[in-house]
Structure 1
Amino acid sequence: MSAGLLFLRLVLVFGWTIGSQWDSDVSAAHTIYDKLSIKRNISKRELKCGEREYAAENICCKECAPGSFKLADCTNDNKTSNCKPCEEGSTFMDHYNSLHVCRRCKSCDSELGFEVAETCTVTQNTKCRCKQHYFCNSSDSCHHCDPCSKCENGAIEKVCTPTTNTICKRNFWWIYLVIGIVIAIASLSAVAAYCYKKKRKDFDVNNQMLSRVVHKPPTSEVEPLVYTDVDLSAHIPAIVEVMTLPQVKAFVRKHEIPEPAIEQTLQDYINDSTEQKIKLFHMWYQHHGMKGAYENLIVSLRELKMRAVADKIEKKLNAVTFSSQENGRSNVNTAEQSSTHSDRHNV
């Protein structure tokens, strides 16, 4: 073997030996590092800190108080963390903490209907509420406020608050309208029923009076007969006494007394209305005659809507008729008694 080949072989053997030794050393180093890391992690997991403390590496540090944040962890020599106060008016921290920054203060957006209720401090966030005429009744935190409702005609039962909407009074105008209509219909019905009953009663009275004239059977009692042929000439002053001149004129015109005769009578007694009424009534009575005159008088007055006048005249003439009948019966009884006494005397 030549000298060159022998040298090359020695170099290769030496290199292989050195490489093997290096790999062995690197592997051993990694093994040692892994063991140390596992030991450190186990130690960290087994570290238990007290209330208001936190774990930092292998020691327990005190948390920062409300109103501040952690600037740096504590050390083995000083267990108190390096804390820095929050910025007044812009940031806050409302609890013990180990955070690196304070929380930013909330803003109350007026576009969403909010206003500031309590300003932000280093230990308390801003408190918002719904501004005037706005409300939010959400059980959760409000994200916006709604405008308060407006009541018709200002009929408010409960005013709007930041947490409750306006409560309006119930409007019962339609109930009042219905009640008014019902009352009006009931009133009209009552009036109509009353008018119908009154008209029916008057109709029945007239029928009864006519029936008494035509169909009244003779009775044993002496009663004033209605619509009998009474001589009215002696009663004309009493009749016209309850009538006005226009009523007398309307009555005689109804019975076709000529207008010139009426005007002439009025001119003859121009200053005496009583005499005018008497003469006009005489004119009608002479034209009509006694037969049926009483009945014609009463019926005509009722047809002319002079019912009250007809009732008064009827009452007067009935009283006169009844009195005449009573006198006649008295005279008959007196004559009968005189005749009987004379007969007895002759016997």
Structure 2
Amino acid sequence: MLLPWICLFIALAAERNSASAINNIGDTSPAYTGKPSAPLRRFFKRELKCEDGEYPGNQYCCKNCPAGTYVENDCQENHQKPNCQPCTDGKDYMDKPNGYHQCLLCKRCDPEQGEDVHSPCTVFRNTVCKCKVNFFCGTNSTQDPRSCDHCQPCTQCEKGVAESCTETRDTVCNKGSRYRWGLLAALILVAVGAGLLCVRCRQKPRPIYQPPTLTPLVKPYPSHLEDIDLETPLQDLADIMLHDDVVKCVRRMGLSNPTIDDIKNTNGQGREGRYQLLRSWYVQYGQMGALRHLIKTLRDQGLNKPADDFIDILNRRVQP
């Protein structure tokens, strides 16, 4: 008579234990000590520590795509090649091995701004613009001396040309005879004033010379920080900068607008978004000369405090 009741009790206990186990899957509270199975683990790109020549894919470290191509689909196994597709000739390019999911748009030379094509865009190299005749290069922030960011019209002289306009320098105009006579008169007045001043100096005792107070220069960075690996320290720089300032800096340093928009849409404008912008520029630029270029860009943007704070952070991290 008791056997059916015993079987019913065992079945109810087993059902209760099964429901408790299901509710506790993924529970990270101290009361639950079980671990979720591998498929429930969430992978983040920042958790992946990839080797040189690799990038953090969706879940694995993937080999970089070669120059002239981009990543269409990430690899499905660790340290394997992704699905790479070529850039479109004349439309976009990729000038180095990369892990980007789109190519960089080619620059367009604007004839109305005095620009002309020096060399066209290929899948391996961006367009190089030069200044047309009667224009000179006012700004060139690239490492290519043939390129120019902003062309300006050469000055037209009314009284003759002293030095002709070149690709990198504006015209130097003649000042005319009136200017020479004015300069001569100014020199005579300076000489007379200096003579009168010397006479008065002889009549009065010489004051004690006080050296002028020098304005402190901006903080340089020590030589032992040159060309160090910035990937991890850039996380600290992301903590001390505003998102808009980071966007201005990486755009000034050559990061394309499509890449900036893609990172903003994927990671937002918080700390992670700021870090991914800085890291994306760093992966594109490379380690050599990166710190010098970054500090100069920060100071050119008037961001001296973040630049000085970042140097202090690097000094604490790296001992000479």
TM bracket, shorter-chain basis: 0.3 to 0.5
Larger helix fraction of residues: 1
**TM-score, normalised relative to structure 1:** 0.39
Bigger Rg, structure 1 or 2: 1
User: Normalising to structure 2: TM-score of the pair?
Assistant: 0.42
